[in-house]
Structures are given as C-alpha cells and as structure tokens.
Amino acid sequence: MRFDVLTLFPEIFSGYLSQSLLKKGIDAGLLAVHLHDIRRWTTDKHQKVDDRPFGGGPGMVIKVEPVVDCVEAVQKLVEPAGKLILLSPQGKRLDQDLVKELAAEPRLVLVCGRYEGFDQRIIDVLQPEEISIGDYVLNGGEAAAMVVIDACSRLIPGVLGDEQSSQDDSFSTESGQLEFPQYTRPREFRGLTVPEVLLSGDHGEIARWRQEQSYLKTKERRQDLLE
Ligand code: 6GU
C-alpha cells in the first residue's frame, strides 16, 4: 500500500515513520510513505502558501493554487492516482470500519491542512473525501494523517508479526467489544496476583473468561458499542 502525504511540515513525519512496526513494514516493502512539501508548488518569490481570508476574520487560509497543483502532480506520479483524502475537523469521523475501507485501497493521497483551513475551492475542484479523527481541534492535519497511516498499516497483511494480530484488537473483534485484560510475569506484584484461570492451562475456560471480561468492560465503559 502506498501513502502520499502532502504537508507544509514534512519533517514532522520522519521520527514517526522510522520506528517500530511502520519502519518494519516500510523496510519489508509492504507499505511506502512518500512526503511532499506543498510549499514546493508555490510559484511566487516568497513561496506564500496562505493568505488573509476574504471577508475578514482571524487567521490565515491555505491558498488554492499550490495545493491543487501539488495534488495533481502527485496523483500523476504513478498509477493508480489513489484515493484523495483531506484531513479536516469538518470531515467524516474516522472509525475502524472506515479504516478497513481505506486499508483496502492500493494508494491514499493524504492532504494535511494547517491554520484556519483551506480555500473552499480546493475542496470544490478536487472533491476529496474529508476525514476527521475526532471531535477536538488540532493545529493541523499531520497528526491525523499519521493516525490514518498507523491504523491502516495494521491491516496490511504481513505488517504485524505472526505473534501479533489485529483480530483481537478493540473494535476489531467479531463482537466489536473492548479488549480483555492481559497479564505477564511476575505472577504477583505488590500483592496483586494474576487471575487463576489464566494459569490453569484450560484453553476453553480461558477463552470464556476473556469473552466475559471483554463484555463487562464494554458494558461499563462503552455501552454504545453493544447497541
Ligand atoms: Cl483531520 N485536522 C484538524 N486540524 N483537527 C482535527 C482533525 C483534523 N481531526 C480532528 N481534529
């Protein structure tokens, strides 16, 4: 799977992409992330990517020409052109079902906003899918793009090792419930012991216990997931 990220701050991504599972997936050729600096598509002397809003008001608005030029150039780099996504707090809220849809795409082109927003004509011309990662405001779409890449990468076959699995993750279980509690050594810490059933070796009992724990935790914390 290929991700192209269009941003004013490409450096933000380097640390994140060079660690852990994402790095392994990239090194193994299972995913690729290409960063594109929107500022490189400006044509004026001052490389201006934002300007004051018509009609007045605080903040700056991202200009239409560099973003549209950058998107069109990046989409032409390779086939297929990829699914175009604009990260924005006005977008459709990301959840695991949407992650599954996105992870089935061969290529995503992710456009990160900053400041007060995009010139509306960017959206009118490019007609991207707008995606938000939740009901709060970030300084920009970069953290949201990393969330999309991270969540999708877990669903790409081979990115998680054999010993790991996205099947048991919260929201990914058949039942859509939260995860059961996990324990590892030592058996006792500050008087807190590991539930006896997990030491029993009875795999049927363990599976039943875990299912029940998932259900109880979901009922207590996220009744909405059971409805
Ligand atoms: Cl995608 N961008 C910004 N700026 N804020 C957000 C967001 C995105 N998703 C939630 N809040």
Whether residues 26 and 104 share a domain: the answer is: yes
Range of the domain at 179: 170-226
With respect to residue 187, please indicate whether it lies within any of the assigned structural domains. yes
CA of 135, closest atom in ligand 1: 10
Q: In terms of domains, do 149 and 185 share one? A: no
For residue 139, how far is its CA from the centre of ligand 1 (angstroms)?
8
Indicate whether 88 belongs to any domain: yes
81 and 179 share a domain?
no
Please name the amino acid found at residue 184.
Answer: T
Ligand 1 atom, smallest distance to 139 CA: 4
Same domain, 214 and 131: no
Provide the pLDDT for residue 163: 52
> What distance, in Å, lies between the first and last C-alpha atoms of the chain?
34
Closest CA to 141 of 206, 86, 197: 86
Note if 97 is an active site residue: no
Q: Confirm whether 154 is a catalytic residue.
A: yes
Give me the pLDDT at residue 127, please. Answer: 98
Q: From the alpha carbon of 133, which atom of ligand 1 is closest? A: 9
Ligand 1, pocket-test mutation among 132, 139, 146, most atoms within 8 A of CB? 132
pLDDT at 19: 86
- Do 138 and 181 share a domain, yes or no? no
Q: Read off the pTM.
A: 0.93
One domain, residues 187 and 140: no
Average pLDDT of the residues in 105-110:
98
**169 carries an active-site annotation:** yes
Structural tokens at position 45: 């002397």
Are residues 195 and 100 both part of a single domain?
Answer: no
| 147 C-alpha to ligand 1 centroid (Å) | 11
What is the rounded CA–CA span in Å between residue 195 and residue 69? 59
In a domain, 163, yes or no: no
85 within a domain of the structure (yes/no): yes
Q: Does residue 105 have an active-site annotation? A: no
CATH of the domain at 204: 1.10.1270.20
CB within 6 Å of ligand 1 — which residues? 87-89, 132-134, 136-138, 140-141, 144
Do 88 and 12 belong together in one domain?
A: yes
Q: What is the pLDDT of residues 170-214, one digit of tens each?
A: 665 556 899 999 999 999 999 999 999 999 999 999 999 999 999
